[in-house]
Amino acid sequence: MAAAKPPFPPFTEETAPQKVQAAEDAWNTRDPERVALAYTEDSVWRNRDRFVTGREEIVAFLRDKWARELDYALRDELAAIDTPVLVLVGDEDEGCLETDLMLKRTIPTAGLAVLPQTGHTANLEEPDAFNGIVDRFLAAAERDGWRRRDPRSQSTSTTGMAAR
């Protein structure tokens, strides 16, 4: 496997968005070796209840993942969604917070609701709050009151760190 490409940690305000964009660009190639190079040799990933440590495990994990997930193109497909979307997450749902924030940033019609002190089963843990948020979303969508965000508020990166 080739060596990682700069910028290298520790990141600055200037180099952090560059590194994030490089990782995103690599991810969208679906080339596990290229993706792994965007991370340090001792990186640790968590996917649900599985921990992946180091570039070799990252490569194996991604090969397996992409063998099951065909036609994967993160940014293009998500950015093309044009129907109202509500992303609702509990702030203690560690496995979903970053992904849900990425969805909010990438889907131009997405809204994000975060329930405090709530985990993955927000509908069971906080049913009144959950139902209220969903009811308001559905009412707005039905009366065509749920619109695309102003493009000036959208990031050019799925992580929100790219320079505007």
Can you give the residue ranges of every domain in the chain?
15-68, 74-153
- d(CA 73, CA 78) in angstroms, rounded, equals 8
Contacts of 27 (CB under 8 A, 6+ apart): 35, 38, 74
CATH topology of domain 15-68: Nuclear Transport Factor 2; Chain: A, (3.10.450)
CA distance 163 to 133: 32
Grouping H, G, I as helix, E, B as strand and the rest as coil, residue 32 is: helix
Residues in the chain: 164
Is the predicted pLDDT of residue 6 greater than 80, yes or no? no
Dump pLDDT digits (tens) for 37-60: 877 888 888 877 788 999 999 999
Q: Residues 94-126: pLDDT tens digits?
A: 878 888 888 888 888 999 999 999 999 999 999
From the list 50, 36, 154, 151, the residue with the least C-alpha distance to 105 is 154
* Residues 6 or more apart in contact with residue 156 via CB below 8 angstroms: 162, 163, 164
Share above pLDDT 70 across residues of the chain, in percent, rounded to a whole number: 87
* 50-53 vs 44-47, strand pairing mode: antiparallel
Place of tokens 């570039």: 55
CATH architecture of 74-153: 3-Layer(aba) Sandwich (3.40)
